[in-house]
């Protein structure tokens, strides 16, 4: 339903803001503590992914030329996902608030209201799928390595500050949520329904356990060898 779609969009936005906010705060703290390696790695995993997703966000705009896309990607650096969240909300609003079918069987009705509603659904599904891919790439390139990095740092220090734990938690669940959102968008785009219960909850739970085992293996490997370089393997998950 529309409440579930809006809820997932809102939760995803909150997770994104807290995730990137805590990562930036950690980078500042590492710099203040003169932890040069950890500062550089944290900053790298913040900035590098947003160069990629900014370019992706710009190239998703089909009406722009190549030069316009490049300029837009540079302008949208570090804010492309925020604007895409705004665009997704606008698509959700047009679909569920601005357009209403005249009857439940809107797929067969030929009136103007039902035609506009069908068009809004198609545009919304396509936009949601593109955005889900964008968010997925962002979490794979930023959240996954950040989780491995911060957990490795806590193990090396054997200290578990609240800020670092918060960063790791939101990075992890942002990754699981992005994979779930991508699967939901893929199924919906193909014309099928992806219900909150049991589809969304079961799929999200399965991703939590799958990611926990895979990412933990990378962290344990890095900790055992005392080499933080192993966290780069997280990018390839």
Of 49, 53, 236, 46, nearest to 130 (Cα)? 53
Percent of the chain predicted with pLDDT > 90: 16
Q: Which of 45-54, 64-73, 155-164 has the lowest mean pLDDT?
A: 64-73
Q: What is the pTM of this model?
A: 0.79
Q: Do 135 and 186 meet the contact criterion of CB atoms below 8 Å apart? A: no
Query: By three-state DSSP, how is residue 102 classified?
Result: coil
Dihedral pair phi/psi, residue 111, rounded to 5°: -75, 165
With CA atoms as reference, report the closest residue to 136 among 25, 76, 212, 52: 52
For the cut 90, the answer to whether the pLDDT of residue 115 exceeds it is no
Half-sphere exposure of 22 (CA within 13 A, CB side): 23
Average pLDDT over residues 151-158: 88
Q: What is the pLDDT of residues 58-106, one digit of tens each?
A: 666 554 455 555 545 544 554 567 777 888 888 777 777 766 666 666 6
Q: How many helices (H) does the chain have, and how many strands (E)?
A: 8, 0
What pLDDT is stored for residue 227 in this prediction?
Answer: 54
pLDDT value at position 108?
63
- Looking at residue 237, its pLDDT comes to 45
State the pLDDT at residue 234: 46
**Residue 185 pLDDT grade (very low, low, confident, very high; cuts 50, 70, 90):** confident
Residue in 137, 128, 134, 136 with CA at minimum distance from that of residue 189 = 128
Gap between the Cα atoms of 208 and 96, Å rounded: 30
Check residue 201 and give its pLDDT: 84
For 201-233, write each residue's pLDDT tens digit.
888 899 999 999 888 888 887 777 665 554 554
DSSP string, 150-202: HHHHHHHHT---HHHHHHHHHHHHHHHHHHHHHHHHHHHHTT----IIIIIHH
Whole-number Å distance between alpha carbons of 102 and 53: 39
């Amino acid at each position: 339903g529309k409440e579930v779609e809006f809820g997932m969009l809102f939760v995803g936005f909150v997770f994104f803001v807290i995730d990137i906010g805590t990562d930036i705060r950690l980078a500042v703290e590492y710099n203040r503590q003169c932890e040069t390696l950890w500062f550089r790695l944290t900053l790298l995993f913040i900035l590098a992914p947003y160069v990629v997703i900014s370019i992706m966000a710009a190239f998703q705009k089909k009406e722009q030329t190549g030069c316009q896309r490049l300029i837009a990607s540079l302008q949208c650096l570090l804010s492309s996902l925020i604007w895409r969240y705004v665009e997704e909300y606008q698509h959700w609003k047009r679909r569920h608030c601005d357009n209403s079918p005249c009857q439940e069987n809107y797929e067969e009705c030929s009136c103007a209201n039902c035609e506009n509603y069908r068009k809004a659904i198609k545009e919304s599904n396509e936009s949601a799928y593109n955005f889900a891919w964008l968010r997925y790439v962002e979490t794979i390139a930023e959240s996954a390595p950040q989780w491995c990095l911060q957990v490795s740092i806590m193990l090396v220090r054997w200290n578990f500050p609240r800020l670092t734990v918060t960063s790791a938690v939101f990075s992890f669940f942002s990754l699981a949520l992005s994979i779930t959102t991508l699967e939901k968008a893929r199924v919906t785009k193909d014309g099928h329904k992806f219900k909150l219960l049991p589809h969304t909850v079961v799929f999200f739970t399965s991703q939590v356990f799958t990611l926990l085992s895979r990412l933990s293996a990378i962290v344990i490997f890095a900790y055992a060898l005392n080499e933080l370089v192993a966290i780069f393997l997280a990018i390839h998950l």
